[in-house]
Amino acid sequence: AQKVTQAQTEISVVEKEDVTLDCVYETRDTTYYLFWYKQPPSGELVFLIRRNSFDEQNEISGRYSWNFQKSTSSFNFTITASQVVDSAVYFCALSASGGSYIPTFGRGTSLIVHP
Amino acid sequence: SAVISQKPSRDICQRGTSLTIQCQVDSQVTMMFWYRQQPGQSLTLIATANQGSEATYESGFVIDKFPISRPNLTFSTLTVSNMSPEDSSIYLCSVDNWANGYEQYFGPGTRLTVT
């Protein structure tokens, strides 16, 4: 069985603050993928990043960065200098060979960035 | 990446009626997925649809309530039958890309309100 936990239900910050969204996962598989998706108020899910289980290298893309640590089964997402347009629900997801690579989604973290 | 469209984008329906949601992909795909997202909740997989075979339903979802068609490699429909207010949700169609780590691409969703 696989599981994704996003303990933060809602985070509220002021523009330009840095914010980290936590994601903890569980799987017995050694081959798996981790994802982050953004769902703005319009409702459409936007893919942000994919990481495979063999690549623990952290990634930075503009103001976004991701910290993947297998030792703690975490795949955290940091937004630097947050902006109002970052306000959305963010979902972490896991797909693994044991689950036929069908993703399991966390409950999502609602990020509200105030001007 | 795949481009996915859904029809209708939203609808308000009466209790006891049925609604068919269409999902069109701009490329041929083997598997298509249908998700439900209830208000403020995460995504829940309803079923996986392969072309030429019966859909595979997740626990808690049955074919009589959510019949699915998959007539070809670019199209699928999901019907929500005998609707009740509890069926008010966003319904999302998606496909995956096994060549890209099973990254999922989502349609814009159908917002259904049942009164």
* Beta carbons within 8 Å of B14's beta carbon, 6+ residues apart: B83, B114, B115
**Residue A81 · residue A63 · CB < 8 Å:** yes
What's at B87, amino acid-wise?
A: D
Asked whether the beta carbons of A33 and A95 are under 8 A apart, the reply is yes
Q: How far is B58 from chain A (nearest CA, A)?
A: 11
A35–B contact, CB cutoff 8 A? yes
- For A90-110, the pLDDT digits (tens) are 999 999 887 778 889 999 999
- Is A101 an 8 Å CB contact of chain B? yes
Q: Of residues B1 and B109, which shows the higher confidence score?
A: B109
Summarize the confidence of residues B5-22 as an average pLDDT.
97
Instruction: Give the largest Cα separation in chain A, rounded.
Output: 44
Residue B30, pLDDT score: 86
Nearest to B45 among A44, A102, A107 (CB): A102
The one-letter code for the residue type at A59 is: E
Q: Tens digits of per-residue pLDDT, B54-104?
A: 899 999 999 999 999 999 999 999 999 999 999 999 999 999 877 666 788
Tokens read off for A66: 């991701």
Which of A37, A43, A50 shows the shortest C-beta gap to B101?
A50
* A39 has pLDDT over 80: yes
d(CA B32, CA B23): 9
pLDDT for res A10:
97
